[in-house]
Amino acid sequence: LASRGSWLWSGVWLALGYASKQQALLYMPLVVMVAGMHSTGEGLKPFPTKIIYGLIRFSLPILVCFVLLAIWDAARAQDTSLWTLAVANNDPSGLIQGDAALPRLLIWGRYAGHFFGADWLTALLLGIGLAGLIWRVMAAPHARSTRIDLILLGYSLGYFLLHWLVAVPTHDRYLLPLLPPLILLVAHGLNQIQKSVSQRRGETENPRVMVFSVSLLLCIFGVLFLPSAIDATQGWIEVGGDSGEHTGIDQLGAYLDSKPLGTIVYDHWLGWELGYYLGTWSNKRLTYYPNAGALAADAAAQPDPAPRYFAAPARAALDPWLSALAARGFKISRDYRTQTFVVYRLIPP
C-alpha cells in the first residue's frame, strides 16, 4: 500500500501489526521511505507538501491504535502494564560493549544463514540479489524499481546493525522482519538473470518462455530447499522452535493444576512458560529459586503445610538440587515423569 502511495491504509495495517506485536513499528522507516518515494514521483523534492500531508494521514491510525491500547491496558486493572512487560522482556539498554560485538555478530550470522535453508544457499541467493541490484544501479540508477531496491537494501542493513550493536536479546525470531525485503531483493536478482539470458538469446518477452523459465527456477530451488525443509519439520535446526524442549508442558500444567488448593511448586527452569499453562487464575504458588542452596534453605524455613512439588526438565542436572533438599531432611519421591519433564513430591521433616 505504501508503494502505491496509500498513506492512510498503510498506517492502518501497520497499526494493527503494532497491536499484535510491538516490533511491527520497526517497519515504520521502510513504509515511510517507500510511500515518500511514491509521493515525490521522479523528482526528489525535499519534504514536499504531499509528503507532509501523507505523514499526517499515516500517523493518525497509529495514534488511534496507541490510545485504544492504552485504554485497554488500563481497563485490565493489573499492576503490571503492557508497556512494563514489554520493557522487562526486551530492554534495549544502550549500545553493546566492545567485547560483545564479535560474539553477537556470529550469533546473528548463524541465524541469518537459515534465511533460505542452508547457509551456502542463503549466501548464493543474497549474492544474486546484491549483484542484480548493482547491475540495475549501473544501468538505470533513476528507475523507480532501482530506488525501491536501494531502500530495501538500506533498511535491511540498518535493521541488522540495530540488532547487532544495540543490546537487544539475540532471539532468532527478531530476524524475521528482514525476510520480506530480502526476498524481494533476491526475486529481483533472479528476474534480472532471466531477462539477461533471454536478451542474450535474442528472445523477446514471450509469455511461454517466461512461464517455462520461472517454472524451471521454482523446480530447481524447490529441490535445493527440500533438505532444509525436512530438517526443519524434524526440529533439527536451531531456529524457529525450541527443539522439543517444551513438548508436553500443557500436560504438566494440567497435572499440577489437579493438586490441592495452595500447592507450592518450586521451579528454576520452566518460568513463565509453566506459569502460562498453569493459567492466569491458578491457585497454585509457582516459586522461582536461582540455585539449589536458596531453594533448600527457604523450603526448610517454610511453615506452610501445603503440598510441595519440585518441577524440572527431565534432562536437567538435578543431583545438586535433590541433594540440597535431602540434606535439609526432605523426603523426596518422584511423582510425575515424561520424556520431557519430571516432578518430585517433597515432604518436609
pLDDT digits (tens, 9 = 90+) for 84-140: 777 766 666 678 888 889 999 999 999 999 999 889 999 999 999 999 999 989 988
C-alpha cell belonging to residue 336: 510425575
> What is the rounded CA–CA span in Å between residue 132 and residue 148?
13
**Is the Cα torsion angle 89, 90, 91, 97 positive or negative in sign?**
positive
pLDDT: which is higher, 11 or 194: 11
- Which pTM value belongs to this model? 0.72
- DSSP code string of 117-181: SSHHHHHHHHHHHHHHHHHHHHH-TTSHHHHHHHHHHHHHHHHHHHHHHB-----GGGGGGGHHH
With contact defined as beta carbons under 8 Å apart, do 308 and 345 qualify?
yes
pLDDT tens for residues 325-347? 999 999 999 999 998 999 999 99
**Backbone phi, psi, residue 117, to 5°:** 95, -115
- Alpha-helical (H) ranges within the chain are 7-20, 28-40, 49-75, 82-89, 101-112, 119-139, 144-165, 179-200, 207-233, 249-257, 271-278, 292-301, 319-327
Count of Cβ atoms closer than 10 Å to residue 48 Cβ: 15
* Strands laid side by side in the 264-267 sheet: 285-288, 264-267, 308-313, 341-347, 331-337
Count of Cβ atoms closer than 10 Å to residue 235 Cβ: 14
**Residues 6 or more apart whose Cβ sits within 8 Å of residue 42:** 142, 144
> What is the rounded CA–CA span in Å between residue 104 and residue 106?
5
**Backbone phi, psi, residue 344, to 5°:** -110, 140
pLDDT tens for residues 41-92? 554 455 577 888 899 999 999 999 999 999 998 888 777 777 777 776 666 6
Hey, what amino acid is at 102? L
pLDDT tens for residues 139-168? 888 888 899 999 999 999 999 999 999 988
With contact defined as beta carbons under 8 Å apart, do 264 and 304 qualify?
yes
